[in-house]
Structure 1
Amino acid sequence: MPVTNPWLSGPAPTARLDHARLSERVLNLLSSQNMCVLATAGPAGPLATPVRYFHLDFTLLFTAAAGSPKLRNIAADPRVSVGVFAPLVGQASSRGAQIFGRARVLTDADEEYGAYWPAVRWQSDHVERSRSLDDPPRGPLVVIPAERIVYTEHWLRRDGFAPRQVWRPGPA
């Protein structure tokens, strides 16, 4: 039987990418996708929520309605996990990341809000809803600086690297 990707067979390699190459691959994934699944835990238990995200380097950002279940959970426990993934066509296309960090909820009254807000592309939502572009939203902004990222890309096997790599801030 013909095999499309023979390099996928057999044991997976174990070699590690250097920090710069791994960082580049993670940023490529974050830049090429815009949806994630946010996992939180709160008094009512776990919650996995699809969310449109934006990013500044390795910090994920998203807006949320004040008082939403995800914001209530973040208030109870700021530790979150975020799953970002590319569409799966087959094993060779498997590419995604599990991002772990502590979420912070910022409002326009917070000093840091202005540093993150320009990365949020809210204008298309306003146009879609016939809202004025002169009146940007003022709702909460959730900021998640990555503390650890587990990156998976099976295409790495072709070059002799482990398909699962672990990223941490700073050179490793």
Structure 2
Amino acid sequence: MPLTNPWLSEPAPAHRLPRQRLDERILNLLSSQNMCVLATAGPEGPLATPVRYYSLDFAVMFTAAPRSPKLRNIAADPRVSVGIFAPLVGRASSRGAQLFGEARVLPPEHPGRDHYWDAFRWENEHAERGRSLAEPPSDTLVVIEPSRIVYTEHWLRRDGFAARQFWKRPPLGKPGEETAN
């Protein structure tokens, strides 16, 4: 029987992508999708919530009601995981990422919030809610700057790279330094 994608057969390659190429692929995924699953932990156990997000570099951000279960969980434990994936047609098209980090809740008066609002397409949410586009945004913003990302793309196997790649944020204060995958 002919194989559609013979490169998906074993043995699976183990080579790591160069950091710049991995960054590029992750950023492409983050900017080409708009839905994620946010995983938090709370007193009732794990909570996985579908959320519409926007991205700025490797950060993902979304608005949330201050009394929502996800924000209650984040207040108790800011460690979160975010799953983002492209539509799946078959194994060859499998592409997604798991982001791990701490969620920061930025209320409307937070001084660091403007940096993210420049990339947040709040006009879409205002229009959906019937709010005036002339009225300034006042929603609570949640930002996740991942400390590590597990990126999966089976198409990488075609070029001899492992389907699962590992990204870590470079140490702060040392621009240009890279962390090995």
Global fold match (TM > 0.5): yes
| CA shift digits 1:94-139 (9 cap, x unpaired) | 0000000000100121110111111111212222333210113312
Deviation at 1:42, TM superposition (A): 1.1
2:28 alignment partner, SS class: helix
2:18 matched residue in structure 1: 18
2:118 alignment partner, SS class: helix
Distance across 2 between alignment mates of 1:59 and 1:124: 19
Distance across 2 between alignment mates of 1:144 and 1:129: 24
1:82 matched residue in structure 2: 82
1:103 alignment partner, SS class: strand
2:119 matched residue in structure 1: 119
1:54 matched residue in structure 2: 54
Structure 1 counterpart of 2:117, one-letter code: W
Which protein has greater RCO, CA pairs closer than 8 Å, 6+ apart? Answer: 1
Distance across 1 between alignment mates of 2:62 and 2:129: 18
Distance across 2 between alignment mates of 1:118 and 1:69: 27
Distance across 1 between alignment mates of 2:106 and 2:125: 20
1:134 alignment partner, SS class: coil
Moved beyond 4 Å, runs of 4+? none
Q: Considering only aligned residues, what root-mean-square deviation do their CA atoms show, in Å?
A: 0.9
1:95 matched residue in structure 2: 95
2:109 matched residue in structure 1: 109
Distance across 1 between alignment mates of 2:81 and 2:129: 30
Structure 2 counterpart of 1:55, one-letter code: S
1:4 matched residue in structure 2: 4
Structure 1 counterpart of 2:51, one-letter code: V
Unaligned runs of 5+ in 2: 171-177
Deviation at 1:59, TM superposition (A): 0.9
Deviation at 1:11, TM superposition (A): 1.7
Deviation at 1:44, TM superposition (A): 1.7
1:102 alignment partner, SS class: strand
Distance across 1 between alignment mates of 2:62 and 2:12: 35
1:66 alignment partner, SS class: coil
Distance across 1 between alignment mates of 2:124 and 2:73: 28
Unaligned runs of 5+ in 1: none
| CA shift digits 1:4-61 (9 cap, x unpaired) | 1000001210000111110000000001100000000011211000000111111111
Distance across 1 between alignment mates of 2:20 and 2:148: 15
Distance across 2 between alignment mates of 1:52 and 1:163: 26
| CA shift digits 1:57-114 (9 cap, x unpaired) | 1111110011100000000100000000000000000000000000010012111011
8 A contact 1:64–1:71 mirrored in 2: yes
Q: Given the alignment of the two structures, is residue 145 of structure 1 paired with residue 145 of structure 2, yes or no?
A: yes
